[in-house]
Amino acid sequence: DTAVSQTPKYLVTQMGNDKSIKCEQNLGHDTMYWYKQDSKKFLKIMFSYNNKELIINETVPNRFSPKSPDKAHLNLHINSLELGDSAVYFCASSHPGGNSPLHFGNGTRLTVT
């Protein structure tokens, strides 16, 4: 019973391509997130959605477009991939309220060549 699942686990693609990462959670959480973990392991918030509505967009290039068809899904589409987009992308979800921890997916390692 995977709580937060992301696909694919690995993604290797060439510069200029468009790719998507899918995320689904079965925890009944209202809020979902995308984080980027760079090569130095730093985790930075990219987007946050609550009940399908965007609530946080942390100055991410507009080549990145999140889409939430329902509150259990938050997909990330990336256009015109660049070398600097290579990273691990984590999806997470939580209940509202600061005391609720985030539950993370296992990450998608994106490699742009």
Evaluate whether 91 touches 110 at the Cβ level (below 8 Å).
Answer: no
Q: Which amino acid is at 105?
A: G
CB of 28 to another protein, least distance (A): 15
CB of 92 to another protein, least distance (A): 8
* Bridge partners, 110 (sequence order): 11, 87
Region from 18-26, 48-56, 66-74, 78-86 binding another protein, contact rule CB under 8 A: 48-56
| C-alpha–C-alpha distance, residues 104 and 84, integer Å | 23
Considering beta carbons, is residue 9 or 18 the nearer one to another protein?
Answer: 9
CB of 88 to another protein, least distance (A): 7
CB of 39 to another protein, least distance (A): 12
- By rule CB under 8 A, what count of residues binds another protein? 29
The answer to the question of residue 43 lying near another protein (CB under 8 A) is yes
The DSSP code sequence of 41-83 is --EEEEEEEETTEEEEE-S--TTEEEEEEETTEEEEEE-S--G
For the chain, how long is the longest CA-to-CA vector? 41
The answer to the question of residue 72 lying near another protein (CB under 8 A) is no
